[in-house]
Amino acid sequence: MRCTSSNAADAEGKLKLDWTQWVWPGPRRVFTPEEMARAGQQPWPKSIDYYVYSNVLVLLAINYNDVARGLIHWAALLALGMSSLALWVAKQLWRQPTRNRLNLYTVGSVALLTAVFLLLKFKPLSFVPALERSEQKALVLIVAAVGVLALISWFFLVLIRAQQIASRLRELEEQERHLKLARRLATAQIQPHFLFNTLASVQHWVDTQDPRAGSTLRSFTAYLRATLPMFERESLSLTEELQIVRSYLEVMQARLGTRLQWQIDVGAGVDESLQLPPGLLLTLVENAIGHGIEPALRGGSITVTIAQPTEGQVLIEVRDDGAGLSSAAVDGLGLQNSRERLQQLYGERARLSLKPLTPGCSASLEIHTVESKP
């Protein structure tokens, strides 16, 4: 019985009408200036102006012969004036789509039209020909119809515009959540076995008084200090990324010994303030070691090359001569995540590609820092 009563109450709540929409219609949500600045910057569509004015001119042309005693000029002036007023109000509502503005403009427009009609009725203009009663009635009906059409258009404009801004805000929030998730996934890419194996190696070297313990612990500490907080940021400079990669490679070389050789070559003129998604370069180096160097019994070498062949273009390559790509190789979570974060930062101006070598593999990153003009 309780369940039935609850369902009945829910149904009653869903059927309840919002009476305020009958006396003060419009969207309830009021966007803050920050929300409007963030999502409401879409310009007013100029095509609406062209559409309204062209239709007014067409209607005037169609009814040209039906307008008596040379009133076509006054009819055209009235029609264009009302259209201009309606479009001006629509543009104000486009900038601030609130129910208060909608209703205030509606009340103001009705009051203005009423005042004009009363003025002309009791104090007709001497230079305007007098209208017969039937013509006055027809003119009033036409103006009233145009006014009602404008009010309905304003109402739907405000609703659609408010929904557009709300949808854009939801889209931006979803993008932010996706970006935060990508950063958390990137944080999870700090391989647990790398951490535990490095700690185990350092502990063993400390116990055996191996001289590698001190330098490896310093590199490992620098690596952790840089990587753990970095994913809270949207981007890192190339200099910061290279520092992380150097610390990682120093640790891995201590663990792998002569099986790993590495080199980082930054070309002349490269802008090291270039922004990259956090951990992107580290992911490429980790993949080179995990899929290239470690599986190869002989080990291998890794070369990180950064060059700027032309102004506004940066090429980054991570090359290894290890085991290479298998024929069935596909992008893993790390590479998929890297591509998505790279697209969020640079869009179509960045490209990440893999190329098999003999032996080894090459991961190339091409970034255009200046957006090309159409």
Which pair of structure tokens corresponds to residue 166? 């709300």
Q: Which amino acid is at 57?
A: L
pLDDT at 9: 41
Res 61: pLDDT: 81
Per-residue pLDDT of the chain (374 residues; tens, 9 = 90+): 344 444 444 444 455 667 777 888 888 888 888 888 888 778 899 899 999 889 888 877 887 776 655 567 777 888 888 889 899 999 999 998 998 999 999 999 888 888 877 776 776 656 556 656 665 666 677 777 778 888 889 999 999 999 999 999 998 888 777 766 666 655 555 556 677 778 888 888 888 888 888 888 888 888 888 776 666 677 889 999 999 899 999 999 998 889 999 999 999 889 889 999 888 898 899 889 988 898 888 889 999 999 998 888 999 999 999 887 765 555 666 677 778 888 888 888 999 998 988 888 999 999 988 765 54
3-state secondary structure labels for all residues of 220-246: HHHHHHHHHHHCCCCCEEHHHHHHHHH
pLDDT in tens, 167-213: 999 988 887 777 666 666 555 555 566 777 788 888 888 888 888 88
Residue 100 near residue 20 (C-beta atoms within 8 A) = no
Name the nearest CA neighbour of 87 among 157, 29, 40, 27. 157
**End-to-end CA, the chain:** 67
Alpha-carbon distance 169 to 156, whole Å? 20
Q: Show the CA angle centred on residue 363, arms to residues 362 and 368, nearest 5°.
A: 130
pTM of the model: 0.53
Within its chain, how far is the Cα of 206 from the centroid?
50
- Pair of tokens at residue 81: 């004036």
Contact 301, 265 (CB under 8 A): no
Name every residue whose Cβ is closer than 8 Å to that of residue 286 and which is 6 or more positions away in sequence: 189, 191, 194, 248, 334
Query: Tell me, what's the pLDDT at 231?
Result: 61
Which distant-in-sequence residues (6+ apart) come within 8 Å of 221 by Cβ?
none
Q: What is the predicted pLDDT for the residue at 331?
A: 60
